Amino acid sequence: MSDFVKCPICDDEVSNKPLLADLAMCGTCMHLFKLIDFPAEGYHKYRSSAHNGRTPEHITMANRAVNIRFKIFNHFAKKGTSVLEIGCGHRYFLDKLRDNGFKAEGTELSKAIIEDLEDHKIHYGNPSEIEDLPVYDNICGFHVLEHINNPVRELKTLVKHMSDDGVMVLEFPCMNFYTRNLNGNNFYEAPHTQYFSQLSMMMLFKKCGLMIVHQTTFWDNEKMAVTLICLAKETADKKELMEKTFSLMELND
């Protein structure tokens, strides 16, 4: 058995001796990742807090997050276009898209959630496993990228299924902002297979033919920060996207 594994982002060799729990860190791109895959079966019966108990407080918080994400997406996406939300989890963002004239579909590994979302078209599986996945104008995914066993393969698949002038909006934790010290009690979650640094996520996007159009990072709680990013294909109209970025900055002033 080899003493090394390949980094899932940059492919460099990494010692298979865990740095922390079952996590290894790449010395090249500073990516932290699980040494074992998380099985898809682990999500089959998963229901988020949005399904287990829709309290008024939860609904308020969920809609607040949706509004932040939708503001970024809506600023860059062309109106009335199609959208795929990967790992949709619950209906809040899908409903927001539909209510604002977008054609929304989703993907999920939770069969329980798919049953709950019967009024939306939801594809089962990881993007690379869905045979009839069409091309969408735009793609979104919120707190999904850190759960994917093979982020390069899945993101490349999504790029192939996104229009050349579309946008991709992703939100996920970023290791740079977790804590000043590497303390597993502050960030470790069993289903999380990827822990991105700013460098490793930039390398991932570059490898998949994507460029960052807009990025904002904010504290999600006292232990973790989250990055919300709008991306486009490297072949997209950079001048048009830059103008939209500047206009968003003016709106936020």
SS3 content of the chain, % helix, strand, coil (to 5): 35, 25, 40
Say what the pTM is. 0.92
pLDDT at residue number 253: 61
CA-wise closest residue to 26 among 5, 42, 47: 5
CA-wise closest residue to 107 among 81, 90, 120, 88: 88
Low-confidence ranges of the chain (pLDDT < 70): 1, 48-54, 176-185, 220-224, 253
Going from N- to C-terminal start, the domains of the chain cover: 39-252
pLDDT tens-digit readout, 50-93: 565 567 787 788 889 999 999 999 999 999 999 999 999 888 99
CATH superfamily of this structure's domain 39-252: Vaccinia Virus protein VP39 (3.40.50.150)
What sign for the dihedral angle of Cα 50, 168, 69, 39?
positive
CA-wise closest residue to 72 among 137, 139, 169, 163: 169
